[in-house]
C-alpha cells in the first residue's frame, strides 16, 4: 500500500482539533547545566557550579505534545504533587499550549521529577524524585470522574503507562469499561507491571524487549516475533497488536485474521541519532491518523514514517505534521 501526500493531507485535515485523551504517568525532566572546576573537600566528588536550569515535560506529556504537533487536541490526564516542581510542570504545559484541565494535584505524592546534571556537555548525575506506589482511592475517583464526565468529547483514548502508580488495575479496568460503553477506541502503550490488565483494547503497542520480558522468551528473528505476537493477542484479546522492533521496524497483527501479521515494515530512519521518545511518537501518530479516517495499515505505516523522522534527531522531539507531510514527495 502506498500513501500519497494528498491522502496524508486529507487524514490530517479530518483529525484536526479532534480531542484525544491521554491518561498516564506524567513527569518533569529537569536539566541542570554547569561547569566543574574543583573537587569537594567533603568527599571525592566534583562540585558543579550551576549556570542554568531547564524544565521540560516527560512521560505521558510527550504523547500529548506529539498529538498537538500533529494538529489534534490532546487532553492530558495525570497526577502531580502540590510542590515546587508542580509549578514548573504547569508552567511547562502552558508554554507548549497544552491544557491543564485534566491534571490532578495530590498533596500526598511528589511530582515525579528526573534531574539531570550536565557539565561540559557530559551527563554527570541523575537524581529521581518519585513515588511508585499506586495512587489513592480519592485520586482514582478524581481521574475516573473527570474521564467519565468528558468521554463523549474524546475521539480516542490513549493509556500511557510508565509504572509510576497512576494506571492501577482499578483505573485500567474502569477507563477501558467507560470507553467501551461509549464506543471509543482505546490505544495502549504498556510497561511490565499490569501488562495483561489491558484486555479488549483496540490497539496494544509493546516493544520487543517488553514482549520478551513478559513472555520470558527470546525474540530475535521474524518467526519468534510472529509467535510472540500471536501469544499476546490470545491473552489480551486486542483488535490489533503493533509490536515495535527498534531499528527493525514493526509488525502489525490482526485478531480477526487469525492473529496473523498483516504488515511487516522496516524502520524508515535514514540514520538513527536517538531513539528516545520514538514509542511515544508511534502511539500518538496511530491515534491521530485513525481519528482522521485512516485504516489501521495506513496508520501504522504513517507511525513508522513518523518514528523514523524523530529518530534522526537528538533528544526527545515531537513529530510535526509539516515534517511528516514533507517526507512524502507526492
| Candidates 29, 106, 189, 280; catalytic one | 280
Q: Locate cell 477507563: which residue?
A: 175
Angle at 159 (CA atoms; ends 312, 314), nearest 5 degrees: 15
Domains of the chain: 5-37+47-326 (3.40.1190.20)
Summarised one tens digit per residue, pLDDT across range 153-180 is 999 999 999 999 999 999 999 999 999 9
Give the pTM.
Answer: 0.93
Catalytic-residue membership of 133: no
Over residues 49-76, mean pLDDT: 95
The yes-or-no verdict on residue 134 having pLDDT over 80 is: yes
Question: Which pLDDT does position 248 carry in this prediction?
Answer: 82
Q: Dihedral (C-alpha) 298, 300, 302, 306: value to the nearest 10 degrees?
A: 180
Q: What are the residues whose beta carbons fall under 8 Å from the beta carbon of 71, sequence distance 6 or more?
A: 12, 15, 16, 17, 288, 321
Amino acid at each position: 500500500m502506498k500513501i500519497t501526500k494528498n491522502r496524508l493531507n486529507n487524514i490530517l485535515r479530518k483529525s484536526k482539533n479532534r480531542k484525544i485523551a491521554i491518561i498516564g504517568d506524567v513527569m518533569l525532566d529537569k536539566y541542570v547545566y554547569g561547569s566543574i572546576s574543583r573537587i569537594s573537600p567533603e568527599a571525592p566528588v566534583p562540585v558543579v557550579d550551576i549556570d542554568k536550569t531547564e524544565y521540560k515535560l516527560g512521560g505521558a506529556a510527550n504523547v500529548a505534545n506529539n498529538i498537538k504537533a500533529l494538529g489534534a487536541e490532546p487532553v492530558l490526564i495525570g497526577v502531580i504533587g502540590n510542590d515546587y516542581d508542580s509549578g514548573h510542570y504547569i508552567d511547562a504545559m502552558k508554554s507548549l499550549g497544552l491544557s491543564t484541565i485534566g491534571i490532578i494535584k495530590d498533596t500526598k505524592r511528589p511530582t515525579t521529577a528526573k534531574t539531570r546534571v550536565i557539565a561540559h556537555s557530559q551527563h554527570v548525575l541523575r537524581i529521581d524524585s518519585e513515588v511508585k506506589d499506586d495512587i489513592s482511592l480519592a485520586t482514582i475517583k478524581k481521574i475516573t470522574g473527570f474521564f467519565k464526565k468528558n468521554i463523549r468529547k474524546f475521539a480516542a483514548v490513549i493509556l500511557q503507562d510508565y509504572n509510576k502508580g497512576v494506571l492501577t488495575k482499578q483505573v485500567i479496568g474502569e477507563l477501558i469499561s467507560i470507553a467501551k460503553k461509549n464506543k471509543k477506541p482505546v490505544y495502549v502503550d504498556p510497561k511490565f507491571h499490569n501488562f495483561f490488565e489491558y484486555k479488549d483494547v483496540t490497539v496494544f503497542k509493546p516493544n520487543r524487549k517488553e514482549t520478551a520480558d513478559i513472555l520470558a522468551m527470546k525474540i530475535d528473528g521474524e518467526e519468534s516475533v510472529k509467535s510472540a505476537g500471536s501469544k499476546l493477542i490470545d491473552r489480551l484479546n486486542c483488535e490489533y497488536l503493533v509490536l515495535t522492533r527498534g531499528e527493525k521496524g514493526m509488525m502489525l497483527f490482526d485478531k480477526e485474521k487469525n492473529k496473523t501479521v498483516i504488515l511487516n515494515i522496516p524502520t524508515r530512519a535514514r540514520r538513527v541519532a536517538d531513539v528516545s521518545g520514538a514509542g511515544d511518537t508511534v502511539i500518538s501518530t496511530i491515534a491521530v491518523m485513525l481519528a482522521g479516517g485512516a485504516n489501521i495499515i495506513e496508520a501504522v505505516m504513517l507511525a513508522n514514517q513518523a518514528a523514523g523522522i524523530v529518530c534522526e534527531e537528538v533528544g526527545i522531539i515531537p513529530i510535526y505534521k509539516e515534517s511528516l507531510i514533507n517526507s512524502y514527495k507526492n
